[in-house]
């Protein structure tokens, strides 16, 4: 039991008044404490709701795409043939120069459509590649040539060895992006233009129509009513990718979905 101290100098009523006032102060403090507890519990409940809402929003967000590190050849037009041979083609004069200067090696083949305005195309290890790989590479090279922009359905393509490719013609330097070819050329006649477009590992991919093992579903041909931008827009909707990604890999000129 708690003890009560009384003052002998004060009357009973005075002692009672002192404890009455003390009781009022304690009661007031207790009420304040109860209100603080209620307010704190309310703030905690509100905070719990905000945390739950934030977590739900985070879960609803699509998972961020994890981009793998790109290979050196992925800045060029490229594909892997049915026989696992790497084929690379320049996207402009600067890339043509870079490909030949830094990446054309002994054992490779240099390929070019027989038309003004075509990419320098390299078939890595092409001299020992099977005929199927060379045919696929020829179609790939043809499809990125000016034949596509001109709306042609086919064009001749030739292949030569690295030592037949030169930047000099009778002592004069060939214009940027162009090359002098010496000796005999191996021709692929009337190569049909055609490409397949699709997605692989979240990235837009292009391959020649003739690649039998391709899993890319959409086939495109040169000509038709759609300009490059309109074709890219239509393909972006079908594939669920960015339009800019397709603009980088589509040939210049009109095209159509076959």
**pLDDT digits 0-9 by tens, 210-220:** 998 899 989 99
Residue with the bigger pLDDT between 128 and 55: it is 128
pLDDT band for position 41 (cuts 50, 70, 90):
confident
Mean pLDDT for the stretch of residues 228-243:
95
Q: Domain-by-domain residue ranges, the chain?
A: 72-257
Instruction: Give the number of residues written for the chain.
Output: 258
Question: Does residue 65 surpass a pLDDT of 60?
Answer: no
Q: In angstroms, rounded to a whole number, what is the distance separating the alpha carbons of residues 248 and 243?
A: 9
Mean pLDDT for the stretch of residues 218-240:
94
**pLDDT digits 0-9 by tens, 106-164:** 999 999 999 999 999 999 999 999 999 999 999 999 999 999 999 999 999 999 999 99
pTM of the model: 0.73
What pLDDT was estimated at residue 61? 66
Question: Does residue 45 surpass a pLDDT of 90?
Answer: no
- Arithmetic mean of pLDDT over the chain: 88
In sequence order, what E strands does the chain have? 77-80, 86-89, 109-113, 121-123, 154-160, 165-166, 168-169, 172-173, 180-181, 186-192, 195-200, 203-208, 218-226, 255-257
pLDDT band for position 7 (cuts 50, 70, 90):
low
Backbone torsions φ then ψ of 92, nearest 5 degrees: -160, 180
Question: Does residue 23 surpass a pLDDT of 80?
Answer: no
**pLDDT digits 0-9 by tens, 73-112:** 999 999 999 999 999 999 999 999 999 999 999 999 999 9
């Amino acid at each position: 039991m708690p003890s009560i101290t009384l003052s002998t100098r004060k009357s009973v009523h005075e002692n009672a008044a002192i404890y009455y006032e003390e009781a009022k102060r304690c009661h007031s403090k207790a009420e304040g404490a109860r209100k603080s507890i209620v307010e704190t519990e309310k703030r905690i409940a509100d905070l719990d709701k905000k945390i739950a809402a934030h977590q739900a929003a985070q879960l609803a967000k699509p998972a961020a795409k994890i981009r793998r590190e790109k290979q050196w050849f992925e800045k060029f037009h490229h594909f892997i043939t049915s026989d696992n041979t790497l084929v690379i083609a320049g996207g402009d004069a600067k890339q043509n120069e870079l490909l030949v200067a830094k990446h054309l090696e002994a054992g490779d083949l240099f390929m070019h459509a027989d038309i003004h305005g075509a990419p320098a195309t390299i078939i890595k290890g092409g001299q020992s590649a099977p005929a199927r790989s060379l045919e696929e590479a020829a179609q790939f090279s043809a499809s990125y040539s000016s034949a596509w922009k001109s709306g042609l359905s086919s064009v001749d393509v030739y292949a030569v060895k690295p030592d037949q490719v030169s930047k000099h013609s009778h002592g004069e330097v060939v214009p940027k992006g162009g090359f002098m070819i010496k000796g005999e050329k191996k021709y692929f006649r009337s190569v049909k233009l055609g490409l397949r477009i699709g997605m692989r590992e979240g990235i837009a991919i292009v391959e020649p129509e003739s690649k039998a093992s391709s899993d890319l579903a959409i086939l495109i041909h040169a000509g038709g009513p759609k300009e490059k931008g309109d074709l890219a827009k239509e393909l972006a909707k079908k594939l669920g990718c960015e339009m800019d990604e397709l603009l980088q890999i589509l040939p210049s000129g009109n095209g159509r979905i076959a």
